[in-house]
């Protein structure tokens, strides 16, 4: 049996390789997506005070730090029975959305641009942005987002300030004014950025390529109708479902010696989380500019038989505009904030669950604690882990349709991986334990 290995896969977060297995006649037999970046957060956090988890969780990934932090903090709100007041929820929302925008902006600019909008080959990572005249806009948006994060959380990266039910970073009148100015800069920059990206993506969409079609997916799952608030909803065979507990929606399963732990939708179905699921499950936007873009994407989906040809990245452009609008709304009523000094008491509950819509999809933090508030179990379901089964199925379908496994085919397979935008450092559930119970 012949093996072809793509190592490392280019332009994804973290490091991974794709191993394609061929039979004696060179026909596709199987594939494996591998990574050595498992770091065991769910194991080494056990025994630590649960109050430390937001700080630790934000270190899981440098690009999704705010999403992990807020999901962890929401789990603590439940454990200590401390519902956050409206002003705290508003500050947390600003913190989360600034991180969300930075993530999508980076993915589109660094990972997707060379595939979709670069007009000429360039050795520079941001050559596509420079071709489009967006380099200065990119830097300005990033600068403004960093300022927002530092003002709200005390640091530009891995910031914080959250406690169960509260937020410790005070905001004075001058700081709130600076935040609003920075948000206005972000909003203006995203508008120009998205307008040019929309034009380029329409130009680059190709309905003739052989990428798999997202339309065949049986199930979608997302927190609806917002990035950080709402109910867990799903669609299975055009039937809309609502769940009180994430465990009602999906479960883990192991299939074969070479297959990592997978998550499957109720009944064993493959499901998808992320921009596509949110687009399907969230209501149409009311803002005119967003509504027009929403209709544009719907029309694009009707015309293209293969949404992987670029529509997934188009959805990220749509979410850039959506998140920028939500951020503008969040700071409209933002005023000076003085944290209430109230020490955390002993846990009121033995477990807590925090859900947010991270840039790559639904993120779940589930903690169990003992009577002293020490972690006895940590479960973290990341978007990459949940999308893993769908990604494998789409790659297999793609290779099975290929007449010959050529270099061109292998490059197209990389584009499919990038369309899913896997975050390899977050693949916490993608490692099986050996018989001794050690990783």
Q: What is the structure's pLDDT at 175?
A: 96
Is residue 347 within 8 Å of 165, Cβ to Cβ? no
CA distance 196 to 362: 28
Rg (CA), the chain: 22
Residue 262 in domain: no
Give yes or no for a contact between 247 and 259, defined as CB atoms under 8 angstroms apart: no
Taking CA atoms, 32 is separated from 246, 313, 376, in Å, by: 28, 24, 33
State the chain's mean pLDDT as an integer: 86
Instruction: Please name the residue that has the structure tokens 């292998």.
Output: 410
Structure confidence at residue 260 (pLDDT): 60
Residue 33 within any structural domain of the chain: no
- Bridge-based pairing state of the strands 17-22 and 2-6: antiparallel
At residue 189, the pLDDT reads 94
Residue 22 three-state SS: strand
Rounded-to-integer distance, Cα 397 and Cα 400, Å? 5
Domain-embedded: residue 48: yes
In a domain, residue 288? The reply is no
Residue 284, in any domain of the structure: no
Q: Is-contact 10 414, C-beta < 8 A?
A: yes
pLDDT of residue 118: 60
What pLDDT, in 10s, does the model give residues 221-264? 999 999 999 999 999 988 999 999 999 999 987 655 445 678 99
Task: Give domain status of residue 36, yes or no.
Answer: no
Q: How many residues does the chain have?
A: 439
Contact (Cβ atoms closer than 8 angstroms) between residue 187 and residue 149: no
Range of the structural domain that residue 377 is part of:
41-216+296-426
pLDDT of residue 257: 47
Say how many Å lie between the first and final Cα of the chain, rounded: 29
By C-alpha distance, which of 261, 214, 253, 252 is closest to 235?
A: 214
Structural domains in the chain (count):
1
What torsion, rounded to 10 degrees, do the Cα atoms 282, 285, 290, 291 define?
110
- What is the separation of C-alpha 133 from the centre of its chain, rounded to a whole number of angstroms? 27
378 within some domain: yes
CA distance 215 to 222: 17
Q: Which stretches of the chain drop beneath a pLDDT of 50?
A: 207-208, 257-258, 305, 432-439
Write out pLDDT tens, residues 269-327: 999 999 999 999 999 998 888 998 898 888 776 665 455 557 788 899 999 999 999 99
CA–CA separation, 167 and 259 (whole Å)? 42
Within a domain: 166 = yes
Task: Round to whole Å and give the CA distance between 314 and 318.
Answer: 6
Q: Is 340 left (phi over 0), alpha (psi -120 to 50) or beta?
A: beta
CATH number of the domain enclosing 388: 1.10.645.10
């Amino acid at each position: 049996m012949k093996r072809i290995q793509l190592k490392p896969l280019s332009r994804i977060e973290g490091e991974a390789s794709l191993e394609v297995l061929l039979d004696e006649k060179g026909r596709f037999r199987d594939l494996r997506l591998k990574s050595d970046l498992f770091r065991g957060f769910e194991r080494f956090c056990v025994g630590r005070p649960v109050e430390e988890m937001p700080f630790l969780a934000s270190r899981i990934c440098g690009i999704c730090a705010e999403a992990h932090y807020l999901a962890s903090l929401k789990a603590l709100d439940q454990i200590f029975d401390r519902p956050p007041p409206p002003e705290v929820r508003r500050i947390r929302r600003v913190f989360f959305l600034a991180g969300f925008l930075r993530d999508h902006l980076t993915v589109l600019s660094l990972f997707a641009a060379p595939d979709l909008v670069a007009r000429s080959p360039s050795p520079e990572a941001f050559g596509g942005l420079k071709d489009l005249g967006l380099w200065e806009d990119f830097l300005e948006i990033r600068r403004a987002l960093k300022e927002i994060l530092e003002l709200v959380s005390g640091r530009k990266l891995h910031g914080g300030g959250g406690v169960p039910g509260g937020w410790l970073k005070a905001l004075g009148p001058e700081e709130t004014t600076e935040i609003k100015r920075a948000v206005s800069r972000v909003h203006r920059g995203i508008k120009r950025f998205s307008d040019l990206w929309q034009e380029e993506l329409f130009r680059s969409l190709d309905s003739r390529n052989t990428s798999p079609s997202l339309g065949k997916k049986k199930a979608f799952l997302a927190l609806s109708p917002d990035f950080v608030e709402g109910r867990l909803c799903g669609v299975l065979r055009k039937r809309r479902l609502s769940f009180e507990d994430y465990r009602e929606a999906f479960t883990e399963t192991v299939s074969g010696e070479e297959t990592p732990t997978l998550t499957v939708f109720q009944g064993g179905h493959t499901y998808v989380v992320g921009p596509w699921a949110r687009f399907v499950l969230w209501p149409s936007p009311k803002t005119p500019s967003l509504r027009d873009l929403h209709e544009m994407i719907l029309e694009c989906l009707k015309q293209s038989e293969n949404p992987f040809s670029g529509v997934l990245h188009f959805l990220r452009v749509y979410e850039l505009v959506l998140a920028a609008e939500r951020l503008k709304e969040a700071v409209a009523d933002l005023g000076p904030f003085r944290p209430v000094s109230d020490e955390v008491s002993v846990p009121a509950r033995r477990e807590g669950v925090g859900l947010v819509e991270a840039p790559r999809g639904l993120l779940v933090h589930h903690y169990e604690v003992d009577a002293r508030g020490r972690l006895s179990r940590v479960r973290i379901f990341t978007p990459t882990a949940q999308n893993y089964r769908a990604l494998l199925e789409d790659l297999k379908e793609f290779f099975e349709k290929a007449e010959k496994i050529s270099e061109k085919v292998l490059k197209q397979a990389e584009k499919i991986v990038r369309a899913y935008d896997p975050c390899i450092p977050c693949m916490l559930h993608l490692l099986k334990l050996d018989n001794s119970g050690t990783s």
